[in-house]
Amino acid sequence: MEIKSIQTQYNGYLFRSRLEARWAVFFDELGIKYEYETEGYDLGELGWYLPDFYLPEEKWFVEVKGSLNEDNSGIEKARYLDNHCPGETNGCLIFSDLEYAEFECDDDGPDFNGAYVHAQIIMPTSMFSLHRFNKAITKARQARF
C-alpha cells in the first residue's frame, strides 16, 4: 500500500510532500538558495522529468524520494539527468528520509542516505561543519507545518 503525500506550504511554495518541505527547511537552515520545480526536461524514452529542487548557486538538481527503491521511475530519471545534465549544471543528487538521528563521524564519516556527502558537495568547505549539518537536520525534522 502506498502512502499518499500531503501537500505542504512553506516559504511561499506549495510542496508536493512534507518531506520536500522539510528538505527546504534544511536548505534554509544552511543558507542554501533553492528553486522548487522550476523547469521540466524531456528525457526521451523515459518521458518528462521535473526535478524537485534546483540549487542555482551550486548548480545542482536535487530529487527527494521517500524511498530509494531501485524500481522507482523518479530515481531512474534523476540518475539519467545526473548523467546528461543541461548546460553548466553539476548533476542531480537524490535525498531521502529525514528520520535518522544526528551523526557523529566515524572512520567513514556519517551517512544519511547520502545527504551528508551531498551537503559537503553543495556547500563550500569553509561553510560546512558536522555541527551545522546536524542542526539543519534537526530543524528540518522538527518543522511543523
Q: Express each pLDDT in 82-117 by its tens digit.
A: 888 888 888 888 887 765 433 444 444 444 445 556
Has residue 47 got a pLDDT over 80? yes
Split at pLDDT 50, 70, 90, the class of 122 is low
Q: What is the pLDDT of residue 99?
A: 53
Instruction: Name residue, grid cell 528520509.
Output: 97
The closest of 63, 89, 88 to 76, measured between CA atoms, is 63
Cell of 11: 516559504
Which pLDDT value is given to residue 104? 42
Q: Record the pTM.
A: 0.80
User: What is the reported pLDDT for 70?
Assistant: 57
Contact yes or no for 143/76 (Cβ under 8 A): no
Contacts of 73 (CB under 8 A, 6+ apart): 46
Cα distance between residue 50 and residue 35, in whole Å = 12
